[in-house]
Chain A
Amino acid sequence: MKNGLAALLIASSLWGYGNGVIYWAPHISHGGEHSHSKHGGHGMGETTMLHAMNLEGNSTVTLIKPDLSKEDLNLTDTALTLPKASIGGYYALVLTHRTDNQVDSAIRYLSQQGRPSKISPTKLTALPKTDLEIVPDPLHREHDHYTASKSYHFVLRLHNHALANTTIFLETRDTPVQTVTTDTDGKFTVTLPNDFKNVQIGRSENKPSEFLLTTQYREGDTLYKTALTMPYSLNPNDYWQSQKYGAGAVFIGFLGGLFLYRRSKKTGVPRG
């Protein structure tokens, strides 16, 4: 009941976001905070409770672990609590919803603390997870996060083959839908919008936002839809870090060096 209410709360706050596609959203607590696991104190605290938005009817949820082993999970209503992680690294959470002539999928990558697996995260992204899939190329690095005003690359795959010339929709809560088309190798690049409100100084003072990439493709009688959601953070260089002043300081340092050169010429001795 409580979860149902929370889902309703999120759904109403995200009204119009995602245009009815199924996607993963982090649980928002009553205080408006994302539900995060305790974490070493750097990088993103990862969400431990999620909701499958716009989901109606049965679906399968699979958690693919950093060692590429799989675990089937059950939703309570539309809510999912992640099991405690034993292995550290990237997890892929894959939801698939099948009807007679439609396959919907929602994917989200999560990073968890734990004993490191010896398997490269490239293996996890490369692994086919569902029919139509938006794959980060690459997924951001460990302890890093998707960041506003930066560009990221992805690849679209259908049945594990690159899908060219297909429209991808990028949406965030505060920026209307933008479109991009995959190239001949199924690749595309998006720049995450700088659309944070009421920004406070300090990265940890600002909650991450969410971006959603969606697309669909019809093959024969079957319509495939997929969504990838991930959190993204604001970019300090858009707010309290100035690159202009930084370049100025480098220049002043350089001038200081040249000044020392002039002084050294008076005392300089030929080197050996």
Chain B
Amino acid sequence: MDKLLTVTALRRVIQLTAFVFFVYGAMIFTTFYTGDKLTQSLPALSCAYDMKGGDFCTLIPLQHQMDHRVSSIFTQGEKVLPALMGTLITLGTVAVLILILNKAFCGWLCPLGFFQDVFTMIGTKLGLTQLGSLSREAVNKIRPIKWFIFLFLVLILPLLTGIGFLGHEWGNPYCSICPSRIMTTAMGGDMSQVYISQANWGYFTLSLIADLMFGLMVALALFVRQPFCRICPMLPMQTLFKKIGLLRLVKNGDSHCDSCGNCVKACPMDIYEIQDQAENKNITHADCTLCGRCVEFCPHDGVMNFKYGPITILSSSKESFKKRTKIDKWWKE
């Protein structure tokens, strides 16, 4: 039993529990009403369209605020502070949540992150050849996409819609393509979010992208780790506050780290920067989901660490590396 006790095993248990809470939680813990949800501004893709969910993500209030409140500064000459108040409350809530758990919302709690993990596990067990790390070039090309989605689909297009430059379909365009909307509602038995809209070209395009992307994400997850996460606009959202996060990935390379690259191979987000030499440095990257795999797979004592404030809560070590690689071999057999 002890041989299976790893950070990843613990993470799977927590992810599953979080999945149940975020997808079905309204049936037990909170209620069906948005006003009763846990934070109403979660920095992970728990979807507001899922009526049974225990909480919902921060991107939906942000888009609505841009469309309906922030835009009123330009359309009705509304004073800046009242118009921004809702957004400030939303951002303040995210800041507090990031302070507490930082990017672990992704690696440990996000229902869509776990959904992709499950498909990767299925793909592995089906014997599909798993794609290793993407090349540095590919990673560098993909990285800006999430910022583009965040800036345009979450902030700018909804704002332009509120001002009156664009039609209603651009009021919450990120939700219109978000795979979590389809996944979480389908998990609750509601297939109504899988559709192609013929209302106009905008709705048509967004609904087509949503459906194609969802199908693509599921197939890719069978052999690529975290395919959607790489372009997820929640990462930029979290990154705005990651400096204040108490939980962080700290590298203390000194002479031990020989840049063997084990950590990069283990990293589901292909963050090459983590193999660079660093001394007692917070290396929590914008793409990091704080999954802990790099700590598990680093063969040297005390090089990779999870710290919470001043306290080290997890450290890489020779023993845990040996144990972890053994389990990995067994899992992939």
B219 touches A257 (CB 8 A): yes
Q: Using Cβ atoms and an 8 Å threshold, which residues of chain A touch B31? A: 120-122, 138
A254 touches B130 (CB 8 A): no
Contact with B along A198-209 (1 / 0, CB 8 A): 000110100000
Nearest Cβ distance between residue B42 and chain A, in whole angstroms?
Answer: 17
Is B77 interfacial (CB 8 A cutoff)? no
Q: Using Cβ atoms and an 8 Å threshold, which residues of chain B touch A142? A: 33-35
Contact with B along A261-272 (1 / 0, CB 8 A): 100110011111
Q: Using Cβ atoms and an 8 Å threshold, which residues of chain A touch B32? A: 138, 141
A257 touches B222 (CB 8 A): yes
Q: Using Cβ atoms and an 8 Å threshold, which residues of chain A touch B133? A: 269, 271-272
Q: Using Cβ atoms and an 8 Å threshold, which residues of chain A touch B168? A: 204
Interface size, chain B (Cβ < 8 Å): 52
How many Cβ-Cβ contacts under 8 Å join chain A to chain B?
Answer: 149
- Give the contacts of B205-221 with A (CB-CB under 8 A): 207-208, 211-220
B195 touches A253 (CB 8 A): no
CA distance A180 to B74 in the complex (A): 51
Is B22 interfacial (CB 8 A cutoff)? no
Q: Using Cβ atoms and an 8 Å threshold, which residues of chain A touch B182? A: 250
Q: Using Cβ atoms and an 8 Å threshold, which residues of chain A touch B192? A: 237, 243
Q: Using Cβ atoms and an 8 Å threshold, which residues of chain A touch B131? A: 264, 268-269, 271
Is B55 interfacial (CB 8 A cutoff)? no
Q: Assuming A121-B33, A142-B34, A249-B196, what are 18 further A-B pairs, CB within 8 angstroms?
A: A40-B69, A41-B67, A122-B36, A138-B31, A143-B34, A236-B197, A237-B192, A241-B198, A243-B194, A248-B196, A253-B211, A253-B217, A257-B218, A257-B220, A261-B128, A265-B129, A272-B261, A272-B265
Residue pairs across A and B with Cβ atoms less than 8 A apart, 24 shown, are A120-B36, A141-B34, A142-B34, A201-B198, A236-B199, A237-B192, A241-B197, A242-B195, A250-B194, A253-B212, A253-B215, A253-B216, A253-B217, A254-B216, A256-B212, A256-B216, A257-B219, A257-B222, A261-B219, A261-B220, A264-B129, A269-B131, A270-B132, A272-B261
Residues of chain B at the chain A interface (Cβ within 8 Å): 31-36, 51, 64, 67-69, 128-133, 162, 168, 171, 182, 191-192, 194-200, 207-208, 211-220, 222-225, 261-262, 264-266, 297
Residues of chain A at the chain B interface (Cβ within 8 Å): 40-42, 89, 116, 120-122, 138, 141-143, 201-202, 204, 236-237, 240-243, 245-258, 260-261, 264-265, 268-272
